[in-house]
Structure 1
Amino acid sequence: MALKTVRACCLFLSLVMGLVCGLEITSSGPPSIEKASGESVKLDCQFTLANEDSGPLDIEWSLRAPDNQREDMVVLLYAGDRAYEDYYAPMKGRVHFNSPDPKNGDASISLTGLKSSDSGTYQCKVKKAPGIRSKKIGLIVMVKPSRPRCYSEGPMQEGKDIVMKCVSKDGTNPMQYIWEKTSGNKLLPSTATLDTAGGTIIVKNASASASGSYRCTASNRVGSDECVLQLNVTPPPNTAGIVAGSIIAVLLILLIIAIILFCFCRSRHRKKYEKEICNEIREDVPPPKSRVSTARSFTVGSQRSSLGSMSPSNLHEYVKPQYDKIPSSEEFERPPSHAPLPPPTAPRMAGPNLSRMGGIAVMIPAQNRDGSIV
């Protein structure tokens, strides 16, 4: 009984050892590969079969999900003696088996035109019942630095701090920036401070010896590129002369403004004065002579002399002129040549005729033109 038990155990162990020594993946290589974008990579997966592995051969390449919340994406599949290469759309046309007949023990694949999105962990799983084996390979697709841009900040003058920068727009970190001088003594200024991670170099209290050509190289593990900067440190400008010139210019502008204001005020005052003179009535000018009083006195005197020399019999011949009407302003301002004629006087009668008619002669004093007695 004990002998049968020992034989059964040996038979079981032999079966287990046969399974263990059956299907094996024999390829060896680094657990991860770093490649630059645009390049090609080969993911190696070599295997061997045993006599016990009699089932159909299945080979599956998949891109493992970064977390457990997502499913693994099948990239390439070989089943039923046929390769299926259109499982993963982002890699369509870029991935294929390295061997035309993978069942001969070569399940390696080639991936061309690498992109940064191709980075991840790839798993090769070979199944041939009852054997199952798998292998994982990490792929890191890095972007090499693009051509950096070199430029400077701050005034390029002696005694000032000059900042030179080098920036690469594209590139996978970690990146490193190295500055070097390519002209003159080819040594960086003693006051220069270099930041290799940020690509900045600061030259404090720059002197004329800092002038020259500088080169910046941006690099990472998959590539590098460079740019050149020409630095020209100049003497400081004549600050005193600039300040003096600015002051003189300001004073000239103020003087011109003052002259313009003075002329404007003077012109305005002159116009105001002329306007007041035109409206002012001068007191030393005598008023114009009244022609109305002269005409009326003359008329009244003439009337009285005429009436005195007339008798009641010839009163009907006398027509009283209308001198009680005040002349208008136009008649008053009419020049002497157009002055109205004096009213007609009645004809004087001689003394004998007057006595014959019963009149009494009256002595009338002489009058001048203004009507006053002489």
Structure 2
Amino acid sequence: MRALAAAALALAALLGPAAAMLEVHVASGSVFAVEGRPAVLPVWYTSRSQKKPYVTWLLHKPDADPFQILTYLDGVVKVEESDLKRRISFLYPVLSHNLSVLINGTQEHDSGQYMCTVNVADDSSSTGKNVGVINLTVLVPPAAPACRLQGSPAVGGNVTLSCASRKGKPLPSYQWQRAAPAAQVFFPPMQDRARGTLKLTNLSLDMSGVYVCAAENRAGSATCNVTLEVLSTPRLPAEEAGRAGGGGQRDQGRRRGSQKPGVGQKRRAGRRLPHQHPVLGAGRPPQARGPPRRLRRRLRRPGQRHRRLAGPPAPGSPPPPPAARRRRPGQDGCRGRHGAGAEPGRLPGVTPPPPEKPTPPLYFDFLGFFFFPSAF
């Protein structure tokens, strides 16, 4: 028994000074916080000294060197210039040996490795025992995802529903399900949870409904939905082109076709070519348009006799009578315009205009040219 008592005393003597040496403790080496919410980094120390400690908090990010964010020296707390200046503080009084810090309104870039170093004037520690390290990870909930439908939602067709969130840490996973009243949950390979796609094949009318996609990670979740309306007949290509962004060209074509013709267009529309004439052009090709323009003046018109070229007079025949010359008013003994030679029924001093010759239709010339070619 004496031997056992002596051994216990020796063990107490050895453990006593070691237990009183300076040492920093952490409750957990990894702390997770949701963006926008507060985070607590739990740290405390033990020491045999009663003097005030010298405390330094540093932040080490992967892309930068460690820098001070918070210190305690000679009873004074100092917050260093950084993004955390207005959001970080000691959670308890430092003399209580609890050196935990509180970070309010955490942001994604607050993630990193936080190191707490403690030094006491009349106390020492073994190498590395006076430093506590905590890794802070700020999680970001998924942003509201966007749901899309690709494909032709007709009976027998195939469509793909896609869902994507532009923000989230860690990367969100996606889960598709069909809303009530016909609730349904989907599984791989129909659904790809990493990419957020859902493939529906061989569509039927009873597959119409509302499909909901949920993007979720450790920080939270967000949803979106898309309505699938399965048609009994597929859409026409023109309708598909309009849905894809070609509606403007189609409307422009309609407007172009509904424009009224101008004056020049009306005139060209009412003009007929000779081969289009209802009488002369019936059954005739475009090249049979009648005689050239230079021969039309030589065609015989109704009421006129064709003048043949006379040969030399026969021997002994009397000379031809002189051609009657057209007399003007006031000749043959008349006394001019105001004389007595004025014709009856005509006002004195007024010369009547020459009579206008009626212009026969052009198709009479064409008929005469084709049916009586010897007369021309």
1:203 is aligned to 200
The answer to whether the Cα contact below 8 Å between 1:119 and 1:141 also exists between their aligned partners in 2 is yes
Partner of 1:117, secondary structure, is: helix
1:60 is aligned to 56
In structure 2, what is the Cα distance between the partners aligned to 1:334 and 1:92? 130
Aligned AA (2:43): C
Give CA deviations for 1:136-174 in whole Å, capped at 9, x if unaligned: 001111110011122211111111111111111211133
Which 5+ residue runs of structure 1 have no aligned equivalent?
Answer: 1-13, 243-252, 254-259, 290-296, 299-331, 343-374
Deviation (angstroms), 1:338: 4.7
1:169 is aligned to 166
Deviation (angstroms), 1:131: 2.8
Aligned AA (2:195): G
Give CA deviations for 1:108-153 in whole Å, capped at 9, x if unaligned: 1100111111111101111113335111001111110011122211
1:25 is aligned to 24
1:304 is aligned to none
Give CA deviations for 1:326-362 in whole Å, capped at 9, x if unaligned: xxxxxx99943259x99xxxxxxxxxxxxxxxxxxxx
Identity value in percent: 23
> Is residue 79 of structure 1 aligned with residue 73 of structure 2?
yes
Residues 1:263 and 1:35: Cα distance change in structure 2 (over 3 Å): farther
In structure 2, what is the Cα distance between the partners aligned to 1:264 and 1:50? 121
Aligned to 2:83, which of 90, 104, 108?
Answer: 90
The answer to whether the Cα contact below 8 Å between 2:42 and 2:99 also exists between their aligned partners in 1 is yes
Aligned AA (1:90): D
What value does the CA root-mean-square deviation take over the aligned residues?
4.0
1:360 is aligned to none
Deviation (angstroms), 1:219: 0.4
Give CA deviations for 1:286-309 in whole Å, capped at 9, x if unaligned: 3599xxxxxxx99xxxxxxxxxxx
Deviation (angstroms), 1:209: 1.8
1:278 is aligned to 296
In structure 2, what is the Cα distance between the partners aligned to 1:123 and 1:76? 11
Deviation (angstroms), 1:19: 6.3
1:185 is aligned to 182
In structure 2, what is the Cα distance between the partners aligned to 1:278 and 1:234? 69
Deviation (angstroms), 1:229: 1.8
State the TM-score, normalized to the length of structure 1. Answer: 0.60
Identify, as 1 or 2, the structure richer in helix.
1
Where do 1:227-238 residues align within 5 Å? Answer: 227-237=224-234
Deviation (angstroms), 1:273: 4.6
Partner of 1:179, secondary structure, is: strand
Give CA deviations for 1:221-267 in whole Å, capped at 9, x if unaligned: 1111111222111112497xx9xxxxxxxxxx9xxxxxx8x955736
In structure 1, what is the Cα distance between the partners aligned to 2:191 and 2:39? 36
In structure 2, what is the Cα distance between the partners aligned to 1:171 and 1:77? 33
State the TM-score, normalized to the length of structure 2. Answer: 0.60
Aligned AA (1:120): G
The answer to whether the Cα contact below 8 Å between 1:96 and 1:111 also exists between their aligned partners in 2 is yes
Residues 1:237 and 1:98: Cα distance change in structure 2 (over 3 Å): closer
Partner of 2:190, secondary structure, is: strand
The answer to whether the Cα contact below 8 Å between 1:178 and 1:217 also exists between their aligned partners in 2 is yes
Aligned to 1:47, which of 42, 45, 51?
Answer: 45
In structure 1, what is the Cα distance between the partners aligned to 2:222 and 2:194? 15
In structure 1, what is the Cα distance between the partners aligned to 2:299 and 2:323? 19
The answer to whether the Cα contact below 8 Å between 2:150 and 2:161 also exists between their aligned partners in 1 is yes
In structure 2, what is the Cα distance between the partners aligned to 1:62 and 1:337? 133
1:248 is aligned to none
> How many residue pairs get matched?
263
Which 5+ residue runs of structure 2 have no aligned equivalent?
Answer: 1-12, 240-256, 258-268, 277-285, 312-318, 333-376
The answer to whether the Cα contact below 8 Å between 2:176 and 2:186 also exists between their aligned partners in 1 is no
Residues 1:90 and 1:211: Cα distance change in structure 2 (over 3 Å): same
Residues 1:110 and 1:176: Cα distance change in structure 2 (over 3 Å): same
Aligned AA (1:276): R
The answer to whether the Cα contact below 8 Å between 2:112 and 2:135 also exists between their aligned partners in 1 is yes
The answer to whether the Cα contact below 8 Å between 2:28 and 2:42 also exists between their aligned partners in 1 is no
Where do 1:357-372 residues align within 5 Å? Answer: none
1:131 is aligned to 124
The answer to whether the Cα contact below 8 Å between 2:27 and 2:43 also exists between their aligned partners in 1 is no
The answer to whether the Cα contact below 8 Å between 1:144 and 1:223 also exists between their aligned partners in 2 is yes
